[in-house]
């Protein structure tokens, strides 16, 4: 079994040494540490360092992080990453949080994480539904093609909000009555025509 480390900082001006020292202190070899310098707004699976780690790790390995939040931009993203690793037979350990699959307490912490992530999902649904209701009261029509640029902008805003909260592109598009292809078409058109949401808000997942 190998210990594989992962560190993440948001900007090159920050220092990952604290994270690295914590990993080395429990036996992770420096050559087995993968890192990302990227905004927390990016889903874990889209980060280059995380992608390299997922390609390198095999069943029986343990991925070690300084804190569990290094694995995702939100509780849902963290849990998605943890589940992806566990489905591949890869364990997850967090030095600061006491999450260790080898202990009953560590397994309890993972279960609590799953419960909190589910609660966050419910809050997201409530917020998105409230946004849809507000848009409808303002005259936005859902579920059929609309060419009005104001309506399209309102829908893109709802989709971007859902994506930032952890929804997949498919699920976020469905909220406003679009397919994922329709979402990308409108997002690209808006990006080419002027002021727009950052296209990374809509993602590719």
Summarize pLDDT for 180-201 with one digit per residue, the tens. 888 888 888 877 765 444 555 5
Mean pLDDT score across all residues of the chain = 80
pLDDT at 143 over 60: no
* Whole-structure pTM value: 0.57
pLDDT at 55 over 90: yes
Active-site position among 10, 96, 179, 199: 10
pLDDT at 80 over 50: yes
Which pLDDT does position 197 carry in this prediction? Answer: 47
pLDDT at 51 over 70: yes
Q: What percent of the chain has pLDDT over 90?
A: 26
For the chain, the domains span: 3-102, 121-201
Fill in the DSSP letter of residue 93: E
pLDDT at 24 over 50: yes
Helix ranges, the chain (H): 17-25, 48-56, 75-87, 104-137, 149-164, 169-175, 180-193
Angle at 46 between CA 40 and CA 51, to 5 degrees: 115
The domain defined by 3-102 folds into Rossmann fold (3.40.50)
Of residues 146 and 174, more confidence is placed in 174
Instruction: Reply yes or no on whether 10 is catalytic.
Output: yes
100-114, 137-151, 163-177: range with lowest mean pLDDT: 137-151
Alpha-carbon gap, residue 101 to 89, rounded angstroms? 12
Alpha-carbon gap, residue 89 to 15, rounded angstroms? 31
3-7, 39-43, 55-59, 77-81: range with lowest mean pLDDT: 39-43
């Amino acid at each position: 079994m190998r210990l594989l480390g992962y560190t993440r900082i948001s900007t090159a001006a920050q220092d990952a040494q604290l994270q690295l020292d914590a990993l080395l202190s429990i036996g992770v070899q420096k050559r087995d540490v993968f890192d990302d310098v990227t905004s927390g707004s990016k889903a874990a699976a889209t980060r280059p360092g995380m992608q390299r780690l997922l390609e390198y790790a095999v069943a029986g390995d343990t991925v070690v992080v300084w804190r569990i939040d290094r694995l995702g931009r939100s509780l849902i993203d963290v849990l998605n990453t943890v589940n992806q690793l566990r489905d591949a037979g890869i364990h997850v350990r967090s030095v600061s949080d006491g999450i260790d699959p080898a202990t009953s307490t560590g397994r309890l912490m993972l279960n609590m994480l799953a419960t909190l992530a589910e609660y966050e999902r419910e809050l997201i649904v409530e917020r998105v539904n409230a946004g849809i209701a507000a848009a409808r009261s303002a005259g936005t029509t859902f579920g059929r093609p609309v060419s009005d640029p104001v309506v399209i902008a309102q829908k893109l805003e709802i989709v971007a909000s859902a994506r930032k909260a952890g929804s997949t592109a498919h699920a976020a598009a469905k909220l406003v009555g679009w397919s994922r292809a329709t979402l990308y078409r409108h997002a690209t058109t808006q990006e080419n025509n002027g002021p727009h949401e950052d296209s990374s808000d809509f993602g590719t997942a």
